[in-house]
């Protein structure tokens, strides 16, 4: 119970931090209409203006370590249905297309979504134990709200040290990295989850699973 209390205290702190960090992003994303009409919140959409921030050594990745690999970068939220819908393409890319690397970047658009923040923080803790992709797969397949108990079970299933996982969550040590991804997303005009880049080229928001696989395959042929 004490572990759970500390974890939820940490998550509560993360929610507050995200609310503050997201304020500028929300303000930048608001469209104002003439007096007498209501402003509408419109998140930035992936377009030719969206740019890829440099990937970092700390970003979770899987696939080829070759310098000649096709790099697919996903800005996403593990609890978001649109992000989940493209998971078959991610699995296919890893399994079917050689010399391809998938990089994950957190993008949490709703700063008051505890499940999204909890999943992002838990994913970073899993990455510390080199179990990010196993853990991510379990979270992506989940339905309903996430709880600490469920995440602990996923950590156990992914082969993680659960005690170390709990300690990592309770400290909230990765909050700065997650916030940095959100800040970079706003700076680089990335405003929907998922936003996918193949190399430095942004993909359409409504890209299908098969189209995404085809775009990666074409990029592979150009190498």
CATH number at residue 136: 3.40.30.10
Tell me the pLDDT tens digit for each residue of 118-155: 999 999 999 999 999 999 999 999 988 889 999 999 99
User: If DSSP codes are grouped into helix, strand and coil, which group holds residue 61?
Assistant: strand
| Mean per-residue pLDDT, 204-216 | 90
172 vs 185: CA distance, rounded Å? 21
Range of the domain at 8: 2-222
Q: In terms of DSSP bridges, do strands 61-63 and 201-202 run parallel, antiparallel, or are they unpaired?
A: unpaired
74 vs 88: CA distance, rounded Å? 14
66 vs 216: CA distance, rounded Å? 16
**Category of 144 on φ-ψ map: left (φ > 0), alpha (ψ -120 to 50) or beta:** left
| Mean per-residue pLDDT, 185-213 | 91
pLDDT at 29 over 90: no
143 vs 151: CA distance, rounded Å? 12
Q: Scanning the structure block, which residue is given the tokens 């010399």? A: 99
pLDDT at 60 over 50: yes
Q: How big is the CA angle at 199 (ends 127 and 76), to the nearest 5 degrees?
A: 45
State how many domains the chain has: 1
1 vs 8: CA distance, rounded Å? 11
155 with 41: CB under 8 angstroms?
no
pLDDT band at 24 (very low <50, low <70, confident <90, very high): very low
Which has the higher per-residue pLDDT, 79 or 3? Answer: 79
| CA quadruple 79, 120, 146, 126: dihedral sign | positive
């Amino acid at each position: 119970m004490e572990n759970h209390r500390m974890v939820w205290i940490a998550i509560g702190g993360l929610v507050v931090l995200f609310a503050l960090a997201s304020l500028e992003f929300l303000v930048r994303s608001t469209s104002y209409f003439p007096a007498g009409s209501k402003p509408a919140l419109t998140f930035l959409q992936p377009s030719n203006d969206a740019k890829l921030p440099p990937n970092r050594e700390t970003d979770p990745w899987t696939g080829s370590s070759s310098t000649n690999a096709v790099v697919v970068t996903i800005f996403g939220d593990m609890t978001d249905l649109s992000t989940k819908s493209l998971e078959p393409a991610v699995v296919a890319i890893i399994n079917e297309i050689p010399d391809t690397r998938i990089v994950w970047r957190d993008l949490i658009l709703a700063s008051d979504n505890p499940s999204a923040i909890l999943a992002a923080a838990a994913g970073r803790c899993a990455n510390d134990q080199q179990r990010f992709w196993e853990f991510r797969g379990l979270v992506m397949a989940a339905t309903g709200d996430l709880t600490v108990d469920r995440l602990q079970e996923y950590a156990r299933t992914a082969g993680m040290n659960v005690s170390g996982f709990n300690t990592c969550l309770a400290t909230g040590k990765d909050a700065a990295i997650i916030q940095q991804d959100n800040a970079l997303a706003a700076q680089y005009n990335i405003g929907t989850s998922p936003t996918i880049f193949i190399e430095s080229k942004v993909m359409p928001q409504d890209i299908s699973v098969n189209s995404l696989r085809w775009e990666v395959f074409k990029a592979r042929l150009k190498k």
